[in-house]
Chains A and B, each alone.
Chain A
Amino acid sequence: MEQSSHIKVKDLNVYYGQNHVLKNINIEIPNNQITAIIGPSGCGKTTLLKCFNRLIESVDGVRVTGEVLVGGENIYDPKAEVTHIRKKMGLLSQRPFPLPMSIYDNIAYGPKIHGERNKKELDRIVEHYLKEASLWEEVKDRLKTPAGSLSIGQQQRLCLARGLAVEPDIILGDEPTSALDPQSSRHIEQKFIELKEKYSIVFVTHILRQAKRIADYLIFIHMGEIIECGPTKEILENPKEKKTQDYVLGIIS
Chain B
Amino acid sequence: MIFNRVLKDKIAGKTMLFLTILACSSLLLIFAGLIFKSLPVIEKSSFSELLFSSKWHPLKGEFGMLPFISSTLWVTGVSIIIAVPLCILSAIYLSEYAHKRILQLIFPIIDILAGIPSVIFGVWGLILIVPIFGYSILSGGIVLAVMIVPVVIHVMIEVIKTVPSELRDASLSLGATKWQTIKFVVVKKALPGIIAGIVLGLSRAFGETMAVLMVVGNVVKIPHSVMDAGYPLPALIANNYGEMMSIPMYDSALMLSALILFIIIVVFNVFSRLILIRIERNVGYNS
Contact = CB atoms under 8 A, between A and B. Distances in A.
23 contacts: A83-B177, A86-B172, A87-B175, A91-B170, A93-B170, A97-B169, A97-B287, A98-B284, A99-B167, A100-B167, A100-B188, A100-B283, A101-B184, A110-B175, A110-B176, A113-B175, A145-B284, A146-B281, A146-B282, A148-B284, A148-B287, A162-B170, A166-B175
Interface in A58-97: 58, 60, 83-84, 86-87, 89-91, 93-97
Given A91-B173, A100-B185, A113-B176, 7 more contacts: A83-B175, A83-B176, A90-B173, A97-B287, A113-B175, A148-B285, A166-B175
A238 B285 CA distance: 48
Contacts of A148: 283-287
Contact of A99 (B165, B170, B177, B282): B170
A53 interface: yes
A99 B173 contact: no
Contacts of A99: 167, 170-171, 184-185, 188
Given A148-B285, A148-B287, A159-B170, A60 B100 contact: yes
Given A146-B283, A147-B284, A149-B286, A109 B173 contact: no
Interface residues of B, number: 27
Given A83-B176, A97-B164, A163-B174, A58 B169 contact: yes
Given A93-B166, A99-B167, A100-B185, A55 B287 contact: no
A55 B176 contact: no
A101 B284 CA distance: 7
B284 A86 contact: no
A145 B287 CA distance: 13
Size class of A's contact patch? Answer: 35 or more
Interface string A94-138: 111111110000000110011000000000000000000000000
Interface in A26-47: none
Interface string B259-287: 00000000000000000000001111111
Contact of B174 (A101, A110, A172): A110
Interface string B164-201: 11111111111111001000110011000000000000
Main secondary structure of the interface of A (DSSP, over half): mixed
Nearest to B284: A146
3 closest cross-chain pairs (CB), A and B:
A146-B284, A148-B284, A87-B175
Contacts of B171: 99, 109
A146 B285 CA distance: 8
Given A93-B169, A113-B180, A86 B287 contact: no
Contacts of A96: 287
A84 B175 CA distance: 6
A159 B170 CA distance: 9
Interface string A179-197: 0000000000000000000
Contact of A162 (B174, B189, B283, B285): B174
A155 interface: yes
Given A147-B287, A148-B287, A159-B170, A101 B188 contact: yes
Contacts of B177: 83
A96 to B, nearest CB: 8
Nearest to B168: A58
A86 B170 CA distance: 11
Contacts of A114: 175
A12 B285 CA distance: 39
- Give the most central of B166, B167, B185: most A CB within 10 Å: B166
Contacts of A86: 172-175
B19 to A, nearest CB: 36
Contacts of A162: 170, 174
Nearest to B191: A100
B98 to A, nearest CB: 12
A68 to B, nearest CB: 15
Given A60-B100, A109-B184, A101 B176 contact: no
Interface string B7-48: 000000000000000000000000000000000000000000
Contacts of A145: 284
Interface string B141-178: 00000000000000000000000111111111111110
A99 to B, nearest CB: 6
B173 A155 contact: no
Contacts of B185: 99-100
